[in-house]
Structure 1
């Protein structure tokens, strides 16, 4: 294979070597010819008419008073034009970008509920756009038919404050209480169309790694979209942390649907109710808050085990257990 390729490569090298200049003067002449050819090609290419897409830059003046911008403010707009290549050359490379100043006080506007929409139509401003390009435009086309900008009346409103937080490594035996935030409400200034749908304002997102003690700090409020300013930009947050522990009470058993003609003996006549709650909440819990019951309708023999049901317990406790789960019952007729 090598013996086959070597003669071919040697012949190609000889042909290419014959085409290239052999000395320094010939190299200079060769490069000059290439440069002249390139220039002549460029002159011919840019002397012809061509179509190009330019970006028109926008600036604005006379913003409406007592109104807040609630939409994006377009900064550019594409325009397709046809002209001689030389006229478009600098524009094509992004030099001397055409600019249009939009006077919002002279722009048509329409009301849509709490929003006011300002409308600027490129076709109605075609002469102004072409003058900004500053070239001999043969034709123009506007891909964007309408520029729409929305404002809304500026109003004030009081919003409820919320603490926006997340505990990454939450401890199983600790309870986070409801955050206490001061002040409860703050007054904000913003767009009416936005504030009509907004009732709360949150702090900036807070990530907490581990929380085992009370949190008491100041946090900045996040400014929502459509809000221009806050009368108070931070709040005080107190977040209580309480340890969870297991506790238990002895609770007497009562009998449901018991006939008056019978006497009953339960063995045992009370159960041990164990539960988990926050240490600070234990003082609010009493044995009478728990109701353990058995149902007489389960009795079919003179001696039977009855299931104990816990029909009442406080909402602030969790993982409630009853021991024993069933009791023995002896019945006899009353004397």
Structure 2
């Protein structure tokens, strides 16, 4: 056997053995490191728990923000101004209890029987059920509230819904809101200038079908109550097409012995009409065009603007434009 090959084999065998021993040592060291880390973590947690048990059993003083809500108010009275949103309360007690109080602060309901409120007493009464917690200070300690006579008022609902239609679509009739009015309740001085109540601003885009949906009303302050929180917005939507016609100009309230001639004699009108009504509208002249004789008497330019009115209200016609906008006139005396 070739000795050089034997030596080469022995060399590789020794290198493999040394590599195996080195890897085993590294794994052992890593294992020891992990065990030490685990022991350290457990010891730290136990120490921290012991420290918390000892220290949180002591008494501390803590300032806490407690939210304020309106409680009972005499039936015939209502607030004119908002209450503060919260009160700063200084409390003393065991650390454990204070942590729970800090994480879950109770709401203080302010009961109003007169215009002077001792906030300290109301906070103390409502937190008396919390054992081993004492109230040191409440800021503000006293509240002065303004009360007014409570009234109710019925006002119409105004739509703040903005509808953008797909091309050639539009309302068939004006949208309806149900209910169309609501009752508001509060202090008389707050309601006297309110003549209507608006819905929230709602945007609807690319509309091509009938609409039927609820719309929230504009939120009221805590001082005003609404009989409804939302209304129903409904509307029929139709596809429109363009129509065009020519109409002669007539004169209204023309006195005897007078005749008026116009130049031009007729105007051209463009309008939109639902597709399903187009054929019926085309069969008849849907518009009257006239000028009042009073317009002519009051004019000094020689030109007047014709008035256009729809003949038949059963159609859903929308006037787009008419030309010319002003026409010349000539008064002719009838001999």
TM-score (norm 1): 0.49
TM-score (norm 2): 0.49
